[in-house]
Amino acid sequence: MDDIQKIIPITKVKKDLLDIVKEMVNEDSTITVTKNGMAVGIMMSPDRYEALLETIEILGNPEIVKALATSSKDFKSGRTYSHKDVWAQ
């Protein structure tokens, strides 16, 4: 998932909503909608929204966060197995 973000004034969103939604889905982008230069909303594809919810769920689980930290330390210190080693067993 690319981290593409656009900022579009609400007047343009009102005028070009269909085109903006098509582009947003095609590019998997997040769009910040502004009114008078201030952010008033965010638009994103359902896939991006689901990924965001999944990330929040993972980061909200202390056991998973601990396992990820341990895995990161193992990787940095070279304690890894190759694909071949894992499937050879």
Would you state the pLDDT for residue 65? 93
* Same domain membership, residue 30 and residue 18: yes
Residues 21 and 49 in one domain: no
Cα-to-chain-centroid distance, residue 18: 23
Domains: count for the chain: 2
Q: Which residues of the chain have pLDDT under 70?
A: 1-4, 89
The domain that holds 34 is classified in CATH as 3.40.1620.10
Q: Which domain holds residue 28?
A: 1-44
Strands 38-44 and 5-9: unpaired
pTM of the model: 0.65
Whole-number Å distance between alpha carbons of 24 and 3: 12
Contact residues for 45 (Cβ-Cβ < 8 A; gap 6+): 24, 25, 28, 29
Token pair 């197995």 is found at: 81
The per-residue pLDDT for 1 is 47
| Torsion, Cα of 13, 9, 41, 25 (10° steps) | 50
Predicted pLDDT at 39: 94
